[in-house]
Amino acid sequence: MKLRKVLVVAGGVAALLVVTAIAVPFFIPVETYKAELIAQAEAKTGRKIRVDGPVSFRLLPNIALTLRDAGVGNPEWAKGGDLFAAKEIALGVELMPLFDRQVVITDITLKEPVISLIRQGGQANWEFPESAAKKEEGGQTAPGKPVIRSFSLQKLSVEKGSLSYRDGVSRTDVTDMSLNLSMPALDKQASMNGEIGWGGQKYSLKALLDTPQAVMDGKRFGLDLGVQASGVSVNWKGKAALQPALSGEGALKATVGSLARLGLKSEGVALPENLSLSGDTTLDARQLVLKKGTLVLDDQQLSAEAGVRFGEGVPHLTLAAWGKAFSLDPFLEKPENLTQKRALANAPARETKWSEEPLFDPAGLRKANAEIDLALDTLTYGEYKLSPLKLNAKLSGGVLRLQVPETGVFGGRASLNAVADAAGNVPSFSVGLKLADMQAEPLLTALAEFNRITGTLNGGVNADMRGNSQKDLVSSLSGDGRLVFTDGALKGVNLAAMARNVKSAFGAAVERDPNAKTDFSELSGSFQIRQGVVSNQDLVLRSPFLRLAGAGQVDLPAATVDYRLKPTLVTSMEGQGAQDAEAQKGIMVPIIVRGPFHKLSYTPDLAAMIQDRENIEKAVRDLKPVVKELKETVKDKEKLKEMLGGGLKNLLGGGKQQPAPVEAAPPSQPQAPAPVAN
């Protein structure tokens, strides 16, 4: 009987509790207590707390609390604003575990939260002072059982959130945050996934946190973080800490499946399909640094060190890479193949046409700042080789500066200083190039598909240009330079034969000899460039029996040449070592070189030759010492007579002629160098 009464009483109490729990939310005026709750929260945090919207509360089956238009203010030193604000905060807590001192949060939903983190003068707005009550207790917790035995968060959702960080020097903004967090217990692994926006790019995030309790206690914690965006994947795994400041050490692997998927492209360039960077890293709030790294581009790899700095508006990247050998063959298109270029000397040249297609997107140089150092024992492209190579490139504010102190290339050495300025709407470029002991033919073939000069090249070029197409760059080209070719040949023309062959000078038809060439011991000249027109007034060619002076211009936009060459057949047998006075002896037959690059014509300047009759007569007189010298060395008079007779016939147009290419009728008036466009 007594047991029945006890059960009846217990059941009545339970029913009363249930009815009370259901009725409380209807009878308790939440708005009445809102001000009191806010006051207590402000006392605990030392911050201004606001709840500008309505508050809703439910007790069963689980506790549910919703705040609208709520926020936590900044400390006074931050001069206003909120540390945290949200359009809506919804909290769900299981009721029954609370009786066992267990807090089980079923969900926290933050709608359109705005988090503003500020660090200034050694202070941070997310650090809260101790409450007054705790200060009075000397910071000690009363003895006994802990108030909370366990804590878990089943789900935290962030919808359309934003976060900013600023420290008086830099600022970082994260937008469009949509995150989900799960934390089964403080001493168990927590997980997070979602998306954020940063720098105009969407990123997917995944993270595993070893123990949230370590984070709350300000200790180091294990972290496995993954970030993906547009084919780029970055994974970091290691140990990190948030106090006293962000820091960490771990292993990094960053992979780019295809650069083309990032919107990067360039005509004639095959971008890597597999680009990755891995190594040991350290990080803090401002930068990530990689050591002992490996850079992989498809099937090739280099040793590397790298870093990225944040908070400068755009990322600042650094990369140092080095290795023994690297080939560009997998990435650079070979125009015709290198072996076919060797055949251009005996094949008809192609007409030069400058493309109007954009070369690149200038905005790409404004998306990041960077500094790159590259050191290779050998860099190859087909049969071309640079060895050794050191390169430094700096990109800042859309301006790229490139330096190659000195490298071995084409059998000689070269150094380069170049600037590409894409800060404005129209990119501009400047180049300073120095060449020493380089083989001219492979160099000119590689740069301009021009293979009609052989020999050793020394000199330098300085040039400036503007535009984003071949046509614009060539048309705006300005600068100056000097080039000296030694011990080589001009291919496709025999100037010495043309100067000797007076008959061809009067227009006799002569078939072109594809193997014709003009050997020289030196070919040199300086030049100026204005709006793509190259002007030269001091061209000099020297060979044992030929001297040549030239002046004229090369119009690069039109791809044409207009040149006047003044050769001298040297009658002295001293050759290149002859004195200047001796070098001026001989018959002078000026030659006009004119036409498009692919079809140059060589014709004598008849009017100038006729006007120089006095010099011709002088040259004939000067042949006498040569004849005398030959008589002394040749004792066979019949043979001497035959040799002299044949030689004079050839000189005056008789006998078998040497072929000399002629393609245009001679001009009727003396030709002067064409004026240079200003």
Max avg pLDDT among 77-81, 477-481, 611-615, 670-674: 477-481
Count CB neighbours of 414 within 10 A: 20
Asked if the model's pLDDT at residue 644 lies above 60, the reply is: no
**Cα separation, 79 vs 234, whole angstroms:** 38
| 284-289 contact pairs (CB < 8 A, 24+) | 284/245, 284/246, 284/247, 284/248, 285/165, 285/245, 285/246, 285/310, 286/170, 286/310, 286/311, 288/252
**Cα separation, 145 vs 147, whole angstroms:** 6
DSSP 8-state symbol, 95: S
All residues at 6 or more sequence positions from 184 whose CB lies less than 8 Å from its CB, including other chains: 152, 154, 190
- Structure confidence by residue, pLDDT tens digits, 306-326: 988 876 667 888 999 999 999
Q: What percent of the chain has pLDDT over 90?
A: 34
- Structure confidence by residue, pLDDT tens digits, 350-375: 677 888 888 888 887 887 889 999 99
Q: What is the pLDDT of residue 503?
A: 42
Tell me the two tokens of residue 333: 């298109």
Distances (CA, A) of 503 to 420, 545, 600, 612: 53, 20, 21, 17
State the pTM of this model. Answer: 0.60
Confidence of residue 502 (pLDDT cuts 50, 70, 90): very low
Judge whether 601 and 662 are in contact, CB under 8 Å.
yes
**Total residue count of the chain as it appears in this document:** 678
**Cα separation, 11 vs 22, whole angstroms:** 17
Comparing CA positions, the residue from 677, 355, 672 lying closest to residue 533 is 677
More confident residue, 129 or 21: 129
Confidence of residue 17 (pLDDT cuts 50, 70, 90): very low
Q: What is the pLDDT of residue 249?
A: 95
Asked if the model's pLDDT at residue 622 lies above 80, the reply is: no
Average pLDDT of the residues in 268-272 = 65
